[in-house]
Amino acid sequence: MGAISLFGQIPGAVEHWLEGEREQLILWLPVALGAGIAAWFVLPGAEAWRWFLVATGALALLGLAFSGAGRGGRVLLVGSLAMAAGCSLTWWRAESVAAPVLARAALVTIEARVERIEQLPARGLVRLRLAPEGRADLPPHVRVNLAEKDVPARLARGAMVRLRARLMPPPPPAVPGAYDFARVAWFDRIGATGRGFGPVAVVKPGEAPGADLRASLSAHIQSRLEGSAGGIASALATGDQGAIAEADSEAMRRSGLAHLLSVSGLHVTAVTAAAMLVVLRLLALSPWLALRFRLPLIAAGAGAVAAIGYTLLTGAEVPTIRSCAAALLVLLALSLGREAITLRLVAAGAFFVLLLWPEALAGPSFQLSFAAVTAIVALHENRTVRGWFERREEGRVKRLARSLGSLLLTGIAVELALMPIALFHFHQAGVYGALANIVAIPLTTFVIMPLEALALLLDTIGLGGPLWWLTGQALALLLWLAHAAANAPGAVAALPAMPGGAFALMVAGGLWLALWRSRVRLAGAVPLAIGAVWALMTPPPDLLVTGDGRHLAIRMPDGGMALLRDRAGDYTRDMLGENSGDDELALLAEQEGARCSADLCLIDVVSGTRRWRVAATRSNYLVPWPQMVALCRSADIVVSDRRLPAGCTPRWLKLDREALAKSGGVAITFSDARVRSVAATGGHHPWVDPPGVMPPPLHPTQQPPRTSGPR
C-alpha cells in the first residue's frame, strides 16, 4: 500500500514542479521541434518516420486527454505536436529541394549561367556555382573549381559561360563519422561537383563590374592587407574566408578562435551596436532633436538597418540570418522597455531558424552558435553568478578583476558547452580556447573591426593607409595568439568518431542543466556524465577503409595509425587522422612488421588473443591471379580499390570495389570484430539513393588536357 500511495503522489509532485517552472516551459518548444527534426535525420527511412509520427500523435492524444487535469497534460500535448511538426517539416523540406544528381563521374562540355562566384586565393582557385542551360542530362545546379589562370576577365555573376569539366556526384562520408557532403549538397540543390578546365568562354556577359558589392569589397580589402591578414579582414567584413592560408585557418580552429572567422552573433552585434552608438551620439549633438524625439528608438532603428544590411552584404548565410534575427529581437525588446538578452530570446531565434531551415540542426554551425549563446545567457541569468559579477561601488582594480573573472568564467562555460559538439563533428577541440578568447574577442570586437570600418570609410577620400597599417598589426597579433594557443603542449583534445547516442545524452543533459531554474536541473548532470563516459570509453577504430578502397589507415602496436599509400593528399590524411583520433599518420611501408611492395602491403596486427592479417593493394597494376588468390587465402581482411577475382576468399572480410560500392567506407574494431559502414549509418535518406542523370561521353577530341594544377 505504501508503494501505491507513493506512486499516486508522483503526478502531484510533477504538477508542483511544472508550476514552479512555468516561466521556463516555453524554452522547451524549440527543443521539442529540434527533437523531431533530429529524429528524421537519425531514423533510417520513410517507414520509421511514419511510426514516429504515429507515436507522437498518440502522445498528443494522451496529453489532450489529461490537459484538463493540469499543466503536465498540456506540456505533453504541445511537446508531442512540436516533435511531430519537426519530423514532418524536415521530411517536407527534403522532398521540396529534391533534384537529380549525377549518377557517376563524367567529362562534359556545358553552357551554364553563373549563380555564385567564390574567390579562394589561398588555394589558387575560384569556385563557381553553375546552372546548366538546356541540359536535362545534367543536374540543375553544379559546383566547379577553376584555376585562377583559367578564369576569364569578364566573368561575373549572371554570365553565361561555356567550359569543359570533370564532374562527380557529391561524395558521401569517406568513412563512418566523416563529413557528409552529400547531405549538405542535397539541401543546397548541388547535384555534381568537380573541376573545370580552360579555356572558359563567356557567351553572354553578366552583371556590370562592381555590381557584386561583396566581391568588390573583399577584393579591395585584400588589396590593402596581404596574406591571411587580408583574408581575416575580408571574413569580418563580408564573410569571405577564401584568402586565409590553410595553416592559419587550422591554427584558428585548434586554438578555439575559428568562430571569429564565421560571420555570426559577435560580428552582427558589433555592427549593430556601433551603428546605434554613432547615430545616438550624432543626434544627441542637437538639443532640438534630443528634446522632441526618442533618440534611443531612432538609434535602435539605425541598428536594425545596419544589421540587415550587414547580413545581406555577407551573403545572407544561415548563421548570419540567425544572428540578425536575434539582433532584431533584442532591438525590439529594448524599444519596448523589456529585458533584452534572455533565454526566451535565444529560444525564439532557434525556433525561427528551425522553422525556415530545419536541416540547419544537423550542421555544426547551428549547434555551436546556439550552444555558446545558451551557455552565456543561462550562466548570467543564474542568481548566484549574477551576484558575483553585478556592478557595485568599488575601486578600479577590483572592478577590473571582477570583469576579467566574469570573462574567464564565461569562456570556460562556453568551452565546456562547445567541446562535445566540436568533438562529435570535428573529432578535436581546442583546450586553451577559453584563455585565448579572453584576448581575441575584445581584440576583434573593440580594435580590429572598428579600425577596419574606419579604414574603409577613410578610403573613400584616400586617407585609409595609416588605419590599414594599424589593422594589419592587430590582425598579426590575433594570428600570433592563434598559433601560440594551437602549438602549446596538449592544445587539442582529440577523440575518434563519437557514438550518436553519447552525443545525444550530453546534449540532453546540457539542455536540462541550462533551461531549468530549480534544483531539478542538477539531474541533467547524470545523462551528461553518462554520455561523456560513453564517448571516452568507446574504443577507437583499428582499421579505416575509404569508400573507394584506395586508402586505409591501420592501428599499429604503439597505438599510432599508419597510412597505406605514400602519396595520399592532405585532405585524406586529415580525414583519416581525425576519425581515428590520431593527428600524425605514419607510412605503413616504413613500419616494423609490414611487408610492402609497390603493389601490395601485408601486415599482422595482434588484438587481445587474436592475430589479424590485413592485405591491401596499393597501385593500379594487376597482381598475377595465382599470387592474389594465395594472398587472399592467407589473410583475414583484403582491401582493394578494384574488383578482385571470385577466387579471392579471405578468412573474414573482402573489401574490394564491388563490396565497398554497397557498404561505403568502413571502420573496424578488432577487439570485438565490429564493422561499421557508411551505408549502415546512412539509412534511406533522399541523398543516399537520389534520382540520377548521366550525360553521354565526350568525343575523344573533346577530352580535357591532363594537368597537374590545383584540384
DSSP string, 346-368: HHHHHHHHHHH-GGGGGSHHHHH
Q: Residue 199 corresponds to which cell in the numbers above?
A: 579555356
Of the ranges 286-290, 594-598, 653-657, which is most confident?
653-657
- The answer to whether 277 touches 300, Cβ cutoff 8 Å, is no
Cα–Cα distance between 454 and 47 in angstroms, integer?
A: 58
Cα–Cα distance between 605 and 613 in angstroms, integer?
A: 6
Q: Residue 204 corresponds to which cell in the numbers above?
A: 553572354
Reported as a single tens digit per residue, the pLDDT across 359-382 is 989 988 888 878 887 888 888 777
Task: Provide φ and ψ at 512, rounded to 5°.
Answer: -60, -40
pLDDT computed for residue 266 by the predictor: 59
Q: Residue 90 corresponds to which cell in the numbers above?
A: 524536415
Instruction: Specify the DSSP element, H or E, that contains 676.
Output: strand 674-677
Share of the chain above pLDDT 70, in %: 91
Cα–Cα distance between 655 and 550 in angstroms, integer?
A: 11
pLDDT computed for residue 709 by the predictor: 40
pLDDT computed for residue 209 by the predictor: 57
- Average pLDDT of the residues in 644-669: 90
Task: Mean pLDDT check: name the lowest of 56-60, 404-408, 469-473.
Answer: 404-408
In Å, what is the CA distance from 47 to each residue of 44, 61, 685?
8, 21, 11
pLDDT computed for residue 335 by the predictor: 67
Closest CA to 218 of 238, 236, 232, 248: 238
Reported as a single tens digit per residue, the pLDDT across 303-354 is 788 878 777 776 666 666 767 777 777 777 666 666 556 788 788 888 888 9
- The answer to whether 632 touches 519, Cβ cutoff 8 Å, is no
Instruction: Specify the DSSP element, H or E, that contains 681.
Output: helix 678-682
Q: Estimate the share of the chain in helix, then strand, then coil, as percent rounded to the nearest 5.
A: 55, 15, 30
In Å, what is the CA distance from 456 to each residue of 114, 234, 329?
29, 12, 29
DSSP 648: -
Cα–Cα distance between 186 and 63 in angstroms, integer?
A: 36
Cα–Cα distance between 555 and 106 in angstroms, integer?
A: 36
Does residue 226 surpass a pLDDT of 60?
yes
Cα–Cα distance between 320 and 262 in angstroms, integer?
A: 9
Reported as a single tens digit per residue, the pLDDT across 154-183 is 888 888 999 999 999 999 999 998 889 999
Mean pLDDT, rounded, of the chain: 84
Cα–Cα distance between 184 and 194 in angstroms, integer?
A: 16
Reported as a single tens digit per residue, the pLDDT across 128-137 is 999 998 888 9
Determine the number of helices (DSSP H) and then strands (DSSP E) in the chain.
Answer: 25, 20
- The answer to whether 710 touches 123, Cβ cutoff 8 Å, is yes
